[in-house]
Structure 1
Amino acid sequence: MKWTFEQLKTFKVVAEGGTMTAAAEALGFTPGAVSQQMAALQAALPRPIFARDGRRVTLTDAGVTLLRHATTLLEDERKAAAALSGPQSDQRSVVTVGVFGSAAVSAMQPAIEHLRATAPHVAIQAAEVDVEHMPQAILSNQIEIALGLNYDDAPQPPLRGLVTEVLYREPFQMVLPPAAMRFTGDKRALVEYANAVDWILPPVETYYGRACRFACSRAGIEPRVQHIVTDTAVSISLAESGVGITLATPLMMGLRPSRSPVADLPGSSHRSIVAIARSSALERDSVLAVREALTQAFSPLALT
């Protein structure tokens, strides 16, 4: 079925006026033009919409059904036209942002506050996504922009059509058992200790697990992985209990503070929190506003 909004508008006026002549007068058309539009509309439909009643036209059951839906469609068209012709502040946009644990806790509230001050017509809808699947979630239109991760020692290959911007860089840190406090000020002794005790790391099959092992290698450490744990909070808790060493970053430690001694991992390995979006999405003012809000959310952290 193919019809136009112009035909539906004319149909509504005909139904309300009862004659083609009355509709023509109301619309400023000729009766012949109205008849042609109604003939074209009828040709696009499987059932008759008009029944003759002398000089007047009445609606069939199909016509009544069409009028009901046409009224809704025409009202929606009117509202859409009014919204798009009004000021940008009247055009509310919701942008879906893919987030993960530590980044969400650090960035969401500041980003929302920034948008309220600079672009109140734009709202964020956070959606938790496995950080390894952020690019695919964008490409499959599940989310519009994402907070993702990149590691110095395990960089992500670029994906066609996606733009990545670094928002924040932070170092890897070793979360040590309480008994290792005496090693925190001596890098050489710390490396020797780290090579001699058990470790708690994510599976090597994961992006973070590989990044951890590459970072350890850069530090001159071959971790003896005794416990394979994915959840960062659990890993930190195990280190705190004396089970072994794990890796974390300042943002992770903010999510799960610990009383354990913490030392920067030798070798200066970092991870980057990045904003990822389709290049085409960045042509939308709403998505650009959200990326700017996320950038501003991480700016104070970079200064600390």
Structure 2
Amino acid sequence: MAFTDASLTALRVFREVAERGTLTAAATALGYTQSAVSRQIASLERAAGTPLLERRHDGVRLTPAGRVVVRRAAIVVDQVDTTARELAGLPEDHSTIRLGWFASAGAWLVPRALAALRSTHPAITVITREGSTPALVRALRAGTLDVALLASAPPFRPPDAETPALELHILTERSLRVAVPTTHPLARNEFIEIADLRGQRWIAGPGHEGVMGVWPGVDERPQIAHTARDWLAKLHLVAAGCGITTVPASFSSATPPGVRILPVRGGPAEQRRIHLARVPRPLPEPVARLADALRAAAIETDTPA
């Protein structure tokens, strides 16, 4: 069986598996059974004559051959979809950009940038979705996102070890801060001593690890009073006096009444970078305009602490 015999369905399924990271997640997204997904992958591997996926306990990882196939699959699937649009009488749209972003970017950076882009380039359409860093990186590799906002912490390692390396452009680097109720004793000063964070009630993200919520430098087992993924929910819980939470410095311009955002003094600096990431390839003009808008929005809020 030659690879030229590979079906379009198998390529779509493989692309979805590459993005989702597990056969189960891909099956759920596609509305297939897991066995149907497995059959499509098996047929594609037979056509390729080599394994395309490495099965692991935590999901799947692309083999070198799999990375080649997913790059080509993205091109083939997009071209077929474009052809279908043309045959249906719909114009080919070169002005639609698929943007991925990490959770907190949706509270300040993404809305500002999209509003600015809409006023200067109304013909550009941006479709966005939130995701974790691993999910966004997989989507970039699979070609289902054109560009993504990624957050990183020291020592600022690359988001994955695949080749070619993703292009990463730093939009901003800022210190973390803590959001406290305006009625909280910690809100009386212009900063918080790190020792004063001991014994506080925290509002954390699900799983806590890798999700902003508890101050990274707290040297005790934190007391988690509430868990929420949504940033607006976290900040309103803070405003209600239910606890405190760690936030990016940029949230100073996006907080509801009853919340104060303060820097922390003492302990190691807790810096975070925001990167604009993409697979290295020629930069389409609409993507360049979106990148400019994101950069300008980051600079607009990137005032000294």
With normalisation by structure 1, the TM-score equals 0.57
- Structure 1 residue 115: deviation in Å? 3.9
- 1:240 maps to amino acid: A
Q: Which residue of 2 aligns with 1:27?
A: none
Q: Which residue of 2 aligns with 1:108?
A: 114
- Structure 1 residue 183: deviation in Å? 5.1
SS at match of 2:159: coil
Q: Which residue of 2 aligns with 1:233?
A: 232
Further displaced range: 283-292 or 193-202: 283-292
Equivalence map 1:1-304=2 (5 Å): 93-99=95-101, 100=103, 101-102=106-107, 103-115=109-121, 123-132=124-133, 133-152=135-154, 157-159=159-161, 160-161=163-164, 162-177=166-181, 178-181=183-186, 184-185=189-190, 187=192, 190-204=193-207, 207-209=210-212, 212-213=213-214, 215-217=215-217, 223-266=222-265, 267-280=268-281, 282-303=282-303
Structure 1 Cα separation of the partners of residues 238 and 302 of structure 2: 27
Aligned residue pairs, count: 208
Residues 1:179 and 1:96: Cα distance change in structure 2 (over 3 Å): closer
Q: Which consecutive unaligned segments of at least 5 residues does structure 1 have?
A: 1-72, 78-82, 84-90
**Is the contact between residue 180 and residue 245 of structure 2 (CA under 8 Å) also seen in structure 1?**
yes
Structure 2 Cα separation of the partners of residues 297 and 216 of structure 1: 27
- 1:126 maps to amino acid: I
Deviations 1:176-202 (A, max 9, x none): 232224653464xx4333202211111
- Structure 1 residue 164: deviation in Å? 1.1
Residues 1:286 and 1:204: Cα distance change in structure 2 (over 3 Å): same
**Is the contact between residue 115 and residue 293 of structure 1 (CA under 8 Å) also seen in structure 2?**
no
- Structure 1 residue 165: deviation in Å? 0.8
With normalisation by structure 2, the TM-score equals 0.57
Structure 1 Cα separation of the partners of residues 263 and 220 of structure 2: 13
Structure 2 Cα separation of the partners of residues 194 and 303 of structure 1: 25
- 1:107 maps to amino acid: A
Deviations 1:120-178 (A, max 9, x none): 6xx13222121432111111222111122222377553443311111122321111232
**Is the contact between residue 187 and residue 260 of structure 2 (CA under 8 Å) also seen in structure 1?**
no
Q: Which consecutive unaligned segments of at least 5 residues does structure 2 have?
A: 1-82
Residues 1:255 and 1:300: Cα distance change in structure 2 (over 3 Å): closer
- Structure 1 residue 104: deviation in Å? 1.5
| RMSD of Structure 2 on Structure 1 (CA) | 3.4
Residues 1:287 and 1:154: Cα distance change in structure 2 (over 3 Å): closer
Larger Rg: 1
SS at match of 1:261: strand
Residues 1:112 and 1:148: Cα distance change in structure 2 (over 3 Å): farther
**Is the contact between residue 200 and residue 226 of structure 1 (CA under 8 Å) also seen in structure 2?**
yes
Deviations 1:71-122 (A, max 9, x none): xx9xx89xxxxx9xxxxxxx95322222451232232112333446xxx6xx
- The sequence identity of aligned pairs, in percent, is 14
